[in-house]
Chains A and B, each alone.
Chain A
Amino acid sequence: MAILPPGVDAGRFAAAIRRFEEIVGPEWVFTSDEDLHPYRDHFSYLKDQPNEPIPSAAVGPDRVEQVQDIVRAANEFRIPLYAISTGKNFAYGGPAPNVRGSVTVDLKRMNRVLEVDDKRHFALVEPGVSYIDLYDYIQERGLKVWIDTPDPGWGSPVGNALDHGIGYTLGFYRDHFGAHCGMEVVLPNGELMRTGMGAMPSAKTWQEYRHGYGPDPAGLFAQGNFGIVTKMGFRLMPQPEHWRNGLITVPKRRDLIPLIETVNYMTDLFMIGEPWYGSPLRQLMGNTEFREAAGRFDEEEMDRQAAAARLHSWQVELQFYGSERTTLANWEYAKELVARAVPQARFTDGESLPVPLTKEQIHETTGPYPTNMRRNVTQGVPGLGIWYMTGRSEMNPNAWDETHVGLFSAVPRSGEGVLEAQQVFARIARDLEIPSFNNALGTPVNWYQFTFLMGAGFGIPRDYTPEGKKRAADILRRILEENAKHGYGDYRAPPILQDDVADQYSFNDHVLRRFHETLKNAIDPNGVVSPGRGGIWPAAYSSFRGALRG
């Protein structure tokens, strides 16, 4: 199926392809359906629909000069580009572009680890390096730094950070864009720019002082389309001497409020790694009486049934990094703090392991309480385990079939905020007549140190006809709208929902988006770099806004 870039005839496209072949070599320009198959979003509700965002071609540069030439050629031929790193980003659009017919700039071949310093604790990498690659590089050399990996770890630190991806160790490092330090960018006119200290040619501190001098434009390149990032520095966590975890439970529903307040205190003292909240009461959801009480948010009845089942209502798992003594002292202090706030709290010592971990310790599965696949990522060890959730398992008895969309909204970081969000999500599900999992037991993720994100876990009807897919997309948009009414903003979205998410950030007649688009038009007058990404549409492609809505 031949797809052309919008507004480009076959002759001009053929000429552009020839130019791309001159730049990177003909073997690295892909145009056949088979070669372009991996550049589609296989989780998309638009799969096989007439408006599915499929690229017209893909081009694989090996070095930054080639990226510059590709961008210059795109300007000459008015070809929209879409840059990817390793192109994973599944559930958030995968490698698919915002504009059907874009040429994908696949940066996988730029896969060099340029530097890892385990005395000053940073790395400088190209976009094609994966977390697994970086982990292997460090392990093979015995360097004393940890990576902070998302799950799965097959994605790119550059690509993940540029989509505001997250990890699971200490708060600073979990925010992957926040932990970056210096980047190199090919601008839409083909010029090469470096941010921070990289702007000073003689500086030896590119990965140590992020701000450089003057306004720092680095944020424009995350969830944006102001250039193609070709190098990125990251701060790395020094390898701790010891890793420890522990589990805390509290008995009553309203105990969530002091629990979160106390854990926030520990988090903001930089005392703990990622807190992981949950509810032991999930095991009662198979019980009709309890499920009905939870559906009514009948807190008194839920507490009564929890007590009868000898279960606590909430739990949080904490991670500690340091020496054996300091991790123990922090765990003891954590217990003391929580016991002060919730005297009936219970505490379970977790694992206590010296670092570096042995292979046996990494694969150990007999800890005092189940941690599922999270355990390894809190230890900076990348894997593919999260895909376990996409198949049938005890975690996911309703197996994933064809589609999967990540929707996580920022909610207030308080117990009251969480309890309110649960009710909001329940109302949305009821109004849309879709199932919502564990409404009254939903807990936040604290991936970002100072932010709670909540994904309520909605079940979308399994109807893979075009009409069914459209209904599913409509449901997702309704969820976004309803969330926004309560001030819950999505942190990340696939191209099919990016315009909808951007629409919700509408303060003062969308001044933020207008600001972005004013900048975009100034530095990318032909609009060739990833038009539409992040809901930012250059004038040349403004008619495409909302085109993926179906």
Chain B
Amino acid sequence: MDAVVVNGLCKTFRLPHEKRNTLFERITGTGKKGYEEFVALKNINFTVKKGEAVGIIGENGSGKSTLLKIIANILRSTSGSVKIQGKITPFLELGVGFQPDLTAKENIYIYGAIMGLSDKDIDARLSEILEFSGLKQFRDAKLKNLSSGMQVRLAFATAIQTNPEILLMDEVLAVGDMEFQQKCLDVFQRYLKEKKTIVFVSHDLNSVRRFCSKALLLRHGEQVAFGNTNEIIDKYVYGVDDKELHNENLQSESKIEEQKSMEKRTRWGDKKVEITDIKFIDKFGRENNTFNSGDAMTIQINYNVNAPVDNLVIGIAIYSDSDLMCYGTNTDIQGFVPNNTTGSNKIKICINNLTMMEGKFHLTVAAHSKEHIPYDWLDKQFSFNVIKKGNNVGLFEIPCEWKQ
């Protein structure tokens, strides 16, 4: 059974040069004329089966939220169709319709009604809601006198009492403190276990990987891919199948950044050997600077030998974003002799398994002599990002297993 079928969906927004908001302006023709069309979604096709969880991923402005709102029937498509089987519960924002001047208890009933709960349903669960949100002693306080955190907890505790058939979630998990997020995740798990249909928009690739069996990747309003979550996330992270656009952007951006910082005081050496370029290469052989934890990464170092040198050593060091040195090695330690013929040369260091968990990492690349006389030292001039895979925590993955 299909719960959501999206077919050839397009959405165009009209962006007037100046909004005509009154009848007066309309009749007299004042206010600037004309509008620009903005294509927010272009030919989207996908199907969510009953009991399936689908994640929608993409950069900011790629049309994720617009798509969710069209599924929720808040916005209407320009063309194409959305077919829904079952009752939709949107969690696009918590606490919609809260009345600050009414009490917490009254608001539970109003918000419950908006989320589709009857008074009877709420009567039966009132104490549970108050318990869960930790607001028992504030039940008769006006909502405006509660902290914003309390209000969010109250909204969440009420919202999860609904019995959705199709749940639409937009970054709701991203608000609140750690404890609250954990509670959200628990509820999410519960819904998954109960085989609810879920459509989930998130920037947090890790939660998409964890909860969703399928994912939809959007870029600039176009559907890049739909399918198995892991493959789709690979496409998102590495930009595979993309029309080079993504990579070019990335390249030129990072190059400019490099060039700017190249000349800073964090570069030293007598330039007998000069490092000319650094490339991070992903498992598909493409240049990139974002990698999944556990995947392969190759660092290609281009260097120019300007004057004849003996004992050339090329080394790297990796630092975490908090400036902790994670790892360092060089050709000398590993017993490799790099080419030192005059002119341009290339050397690669292949990492089969990126063991760092997640975050931004900085790379130092250096060419120096065995006696540690620097020829060209680029201190933390380059960086790459690692995206988490799995649920372990910490800085590094340590391969291990449990036994009993």
Real complex partners, A and B?
A: no
